[in-house]
Amino acid sequence: MTVPWWQSGVIYQIYPRSFQDTNGDGVGDLKGITRRLGYLAELGIDAIWISPIYPSPMADFGYDVSDYTGVDPRFGTLADFDDLLAQAHAHGLKVLLDFVPNHTSDQHPWFLESRSSRSNPKRDWYLWRDPVPGGGPPNNWISDFGGPAWEWDEASGQYYYHAFLKQQPDLNWRNPAVRAAMQDVLRFWLDRGVDGFRIDVLWHLIKAADFPDNPSNPAYRPELGEMHRVLQQHSTDQPEVHGIAAEMRALADGYGATGQGERALIGEIYLPIDRLMAYYGVEQAGVHLPFNFQLVEALWQARSLAALIAGYEAALPQGGWPNWVLGNHDRPRVATRRGQAQARVAAMLLLTLRGTPTLYYGDELGLGDVEIPPGHVQDPRELREPGKGLGRDPVRTPMPWNASEHAGFSTAAPWLPLNADWPDRNVAHMAAESGSMLTLHRRLLALRRAHPALALGDFAFLEAENDVLAYERSYGEERLVVALNLGAMTQRFEMPVWALDGRPLLSTLADLTPVQDGALLLRPDEGVILTLAD
């Protein structure tokens, strides 16, 4: 039975600035990732996705790319990358890069050319528009980082569009030359042997051709960010985007038959479920995994989680493989959202649902959002709309490796502060503790590897009442029960008749309690995995 790695495996996201520094500049680098591959292999994940490593002015910390086929000197060299890739493969780990196709840096040579004059051959590689009659931007679109999405270029007398910072001009994906250039970028990395890409803001690539105003948002709440003042009806999720995803998929599939295994595409898409599903492909195959971010926002309550899971499963297209995300470099960390005790239950949920899980670095330690002292804020999202809690620095802090100075992350002061609890909340300390969050992750990942029912099996609900969410995973003869207590009170979970001789395999708490009188007493904040085999 051969199942592609991106279905059976677990993906681990690395924010490279914050994983491991090796040259004492306080910023993580590629050699640092290479140094920690042993840790990752031992943890039990299958693939790493590395946030952008390309040359960049770092206006948006690498999501403003000035050269798609290089490595920023702060991260290392192309040779360092080749070494990382080879060593990752030697450890049995796949490597996904972050592909940022929607926009370049304003310092990218393409944009410098495009901006140089209206008649430049690359003018149409970006989205240039005249002011409206009487002056002012072409329409009411708002940048995702606040403020108008149009920037006036005095020299050439037109506006250009940027969905994010003005240092991140949007490319014109309706231009075939842009598409061809980007296919070349993908080929460059696929030829080097990368196993796939996470595609940044895939749903943004195509905008309505005539740039109509976006409707205003009747439910606008300024505290959530100015971008929500309008609904992104015309600036995102246009039907033509699916043709582009299909082109990328065809390219990736062309490499799949090389013996190295399939090359996977994961789309970053923040859309309601019905729209999200189209990114699996409409007429032709789209991306392998359109990221499913629902758990990040979810209400932590058995019935609503069950409805969310059931709704997602039901909406999947024929052959569409599910996936789950608990956190990433843009959203509050799970330990902060749910608290330490429930973060353990959340980890069990993430790693036992049906579908490919993506784990964010540091979440395996229960790392929380770190308060950034005033004057140390780095993230443009925070700097542009301060005080709304939109900043992302708190979730991008250095990985604490051990109790030595700077937590073993660097020999110098790191670019963002460490978590205050790093003397205890670090890899070395937690690896030695049988009850730690890290040990729990290792056990969960080991169980996933040992039990195809968890990695690949069918899913069926058993209970979603009070604070108990319980389900069955089965594969062939194998049947496992997962029972989660989402609250802080003891809950009684009545085992289904067929599962009466179920035996606990793993608890999020220190010890196991047996099934008694046909029921499992779930202690506060406890999740349990039971097996029916002897």
**Residues carrying an active site annotation:** 200, 262
Tell me, residue by residue from 14 to 53, as one string, x for binding to Ca ion by CB under 5 A and - for no binding.
-------x-x-x-x-x------------------------
Burial label for 529, CB within 10 Å (0-12, 13-18, 19+), is: buried
| 501: Cα within 13 Å, side-chain hemisphere | 3
Name the residue nearer to Ca ion (CB basis): 25 or 247.
Answer: 25
Residue 164 interacting entry, from Ca ion, ligand GLC, none, C-beta within 5 to 8 Å by type? ligand GLC
72 makes contact with Ca ion (CB under 5 A): no
Name the residue nearer to ligand GLC (CB basis): 390 or 444.
Answer: 390
**CA-CA-CA-CA torsion for 282, 283, 285, 288, nearest 10 degrees?**
10
Of 293-352, binders to Ca ion (CB under 5 A) are: none
Strand partners, 161: 150
Residue 23 interacting entry, from ligand GLC, Ca ion, none, C-beta within 5 to 8 Å by type? Ca ion
Name the residue nearer to Ca ion (CB basis): 79 or 489.
Answer: 79
401 makes contact with ligand GLC (CB under 6 A): no
Give the nearest distance from C-beta 141 to ligand GLC in angstroms: 15
Percentages of the chain per state (helix, strand, coil), in multiples of 5: 30, 20, 50
200 makes contact with ligand GLC (CB under 6 A): yes
Residue 29 interacting entry, from Ca ion, ligand GLC, none, C-beta within 5 to 8 Å by type? Ca ion
Name the residue nearer to ligand GLC (CB basis): 60 or 526.
Answer: 60
Size of the site for ligand GLC (CB under 6 A): 9
The binder of ligand GLC chosen from 19, 63, 160, 401 (CB under 6 A): 63
Give the nearest distance from C-beta 487 to ligand GLC in angstroms: 32
Taking CA atoms, 454 is separated from 92, 215, 317, 347, in Å, by 20, 44, 21, 14
**What tokens appear for 395 in the block?**
């979730």
60 makes contact with ligand GLC (CB under 6 A): yes
Q: 80, 31 in Cβ contact below 8 A?
A: yes
Q: 135, 96 in Cβ contact below 8 A?
A: no
Tell me, residue by residue from 151 to 190, as one string, x for binding to ligand GLC by CB under 6 A and - for no binding.
-------------x--------------------------
Of 265-284, binders to ligand GLC (CB under 6 A) are: 268
Give the nearest distance from C-beta 165 to ligand GLC in angstroms: 8
Name the residue nearer to ligand GLC (CB basis): 203 or 401.
Answer: 203
Instruction: Write the CB contacts of 320 (distance below 8 Å, at least 6 apart in sequence).
Output: 277, 280
How many angstroms from the chain centroid is the CA of residue 44? 18
Amino acid at 293: F
Give the nearest distance from C-beta 398 to Ca ion in angstroms: 11
The binder of ligand GLC chosen from 82, 247, 313, 330 (CB under 6 A): 330
Give the nearest distance from C-beta 236 to ligand GLC in angstroms: 12
Strand residue runs (E) in 427-502? 458-465, 468-475, 478-485, 491-494
Give the nearest distance from C-beta 9 to Ca ion in angstroms: 28
Residue 27 interacting entry, from Ca ion, ligand GLC, none, C-beta within 5 to 8 Å by type? Ca ion
Residue 60 interacting entry, from Ca ion, ligand GLC, none, C-beta within 5 to 8 Å by type? ligand GLC
Q: Is the dihedral of CA 131, 132, 135, 138 positive or negative?
A: negative
Strand partners, 198: 98, 266
> Coil, helix or strand for 241?
helix
CA distance 372 to 393: 7
**What tokens appear for 50 in the block?**
């590395």
Residue 346 interacting entry, from Ca ion, ligand GLC, none, C-beta within 5 to 8 Å by type? none
Helix axes 78-90, 176-192, angle to 10 degrees: 60
Residue 21 interacting entry, from Ca ion, ligand GLC, none, C-beta within 5 to 8 Å by type? Ca ion
Name the residue nearer to ligand GLC (CB basis): 369 or 525.
Answer: 369
Q: Torsion-angle region of residue 259: left (phi > 0), alpha (psi -120 to 50) or beta?
A: left
DSSP conformation class of 407: G
Amino acid at 219: A
Name the residue nearer to Ca ion (CB basis): 33 or 483.
Answer: 33
Give the nearest distance from C-beta 163 to ligand GLC in angstroms: 8
Name the residue nearer to ligand GLC (CB basis): 268 or 525.
Answer: 268
Instruction: Write the CB contacts of 251 (distance below 8 Å, at least 6 apart in sequence).
Output: 183, 186, 187, 190
Strand residue runs (E) in 186-321? 196-199, 264-267, 289-290
Give the nearest distance from C-beta 21 to Ca ion in angstroms: 4
Cβ-closest position to ligand GLC: 63
97 makes contact with ligand GLC (CB under 6 A): no
Give the nearest distance from C-beta 415 to Ca ion in angstroms: 9
Of 66-95, binders to ligand GLC (CB under 6 A) are: none
CA distance 37 to 320: 30
**Interface ranges with Ca ion (CB under 5 A):** 21, 23, 25, 27, 29
**Interface ranges with ligand GLC (CB under 6 A):** 60, 63, 100, 164, 200-201, 268, 329-330
